[in-house]
Each structure stands twice: as C-alpha cells, then as structure tokens.
Amino acid sequence: MQERSERTRRRLVFAGAELFHRNGYANATLGEIAGAAGVTKGALYFHFASKDELADAVQQRGCGLLHEAVRGLREGGASPLQALIDTTHWLARTLHEDPAIPASFRITKECAGHQPASVDFHGAWLSAVCELLRMARDVGELPLDRPAVGVPDGAEDAGSAADRWESAEALVAAAVCGIEVLAGTGLSYEELQRKVAALWGLLLPSLVGAERVREYRIAAGSAAGSAAGSAAGSAAAREPGGERRYEFLGSAV
C-alpha cells in the first residue's frame, strides 16, 4: 500500500512538472494534473493540499536532482571549476530531459513576490554555482591575487583581489543564468550544448588566464553525462523484476 502511494505521488509530481513547464503555474489546474497522472482529484488532494504544495514538491525534486548531480561530479574527482563547467552542461541536458528542471525555473519566476517561497530553485541554482566558484577560488584555481596587466607586482591595494572576486562571481552568475533563458527559446540540446561550451570558451581566460585554459574541458563530457544520468535515474521507478519505468503524464516510458 505504501509503495502504491509513493508511486502515485511520483506520478503527480511528474505530471505537475510537465504541466507547470508547458502551461505555466497560473494556467495549470489541479484537475488537469490529476487527469494527466491518471488519478482522481481526491487522490491528488490526499498527497497535496494545494497547488502551492505540489509546486513546492516539483521544486524540491529539481533541487534534489541538482544537488545529486553536483555531488556526483565532485565525488568523481572533478576539480571545483571543472565541476562547475560540467554542472552547466548537466543543466543544459536536464532542461530538455526532465520537466522538473524547467518547471522549477518557471514556478520561481512566475511566483516571485506573490508570497514567501518555501522552495526557490533559482536561488538553489545560483547557490550551487557560487559555492563551486568559491571552492575553485579557495583551492587556487582562480588566480585572483595576480596583478592586472601592466601593473607591477605589489603595486595594487589590498582590495583589488576582493574586487576581482566580486567581478568574477557576478560575471559567472549572470552567464550561467542565461542557459535557462536560451533553452526557453527552443534550441535543441545539441545547439544549447555548443553555446554552453562557447560560453566557457569566453569565460575561462578571464577566470584562470589564457595559459591555463587547456587544463579544462569546456565541451560536454562523460562526467557531466554520468551525473545527469545518475540524477535522472532517481526519477525512475523500479517495477517488479527490475525493469526501470519512467512515468510521465500517467504513462510509463
């Protein structure tokens, strides 16, 4: 009975993500979501008292996928900066593969300012990006203490490194937030993948110096793919016999 209840809840979250992504938070109705999940509206209310609760569950799923992907990349041995690059490729992929991610972005934007949000996926994304960037700074991947071009060593004031860090953080945060915007224009995954790689081709020289750019892989690699696959795999339900089935809109794929 418990397993059946959990399966119903997952179907509702997946269906909610699909319809929030497709129609927007305001236009998606609980009746449509229940129908898409193949359950009654009463069954939906058993799991979620309101559309806000369901939207929170969708964002919680998005945050869970994000944190699992970042953890997998770091445990796989990627440096903080490489993990950041790979995480942006993970985002490009999951924006196309899992509706919880684009739905979470859309819910955050559409509900901004309406009420205090219990879950904020956009904030979680920026937090993950900035944390990886801070880790890269702390392990010495970002040479922020080097003098600017044309300035003798020791000639800059103590605040220069802090100023460069603030600039680097703002630049990266603004750039990676644009990935979701580009995905929303209808770009294919292959096109988005190329644009993310091109983005890092421009960012890396200013972050690590032109002489160290070759130390990093800016194209989508197997590490990013593995993290995405692992995170997406958490969405899968295991049927008896070990068969993996993905449930979207009430149907198993």
Over range 41-57, report the average pLDDT: 95
pTM of the model: 0.82
Which tens digit of pLDDT belongs to each residue from 38-47?
Answer: 999 999 999 9
Over range 185-195, report the average pLDDT: 95
Instruction: State percent of the chain over pLDDT 70.
Output: 79
Over range 114-131, report the average pLDDT: 85
Over range 182-210, report the average pLDDT: 95
* 112 pLDDT above the threshold of 70: yes
Angle between helix 51-75 and 2-23 (nearest 10): 100
Q: How confident is the model at residue 117 (pLDDT cuts 50, 70, 90)?
A: low
Over range 108-117, report the average pLDDT: 74
Alpha helices, H only, 24-50: 30-37, 41-47
Report the C-alpha gap between 83 and 73 in whole angstroms: 6
Q: How confident is the model at residue 192 (pLDDT cuts 50, 70, 90)?
A: very high
Look at 44-53, 57-66, 114-123, 172-181 and tell me which has the smallest mean pLDDT. 114-123
Report the C-alpha gap between 176 and 189 in whole angstroms: 16
Report the C-alpha gap between 165 and 143 in whole angstroms: 10
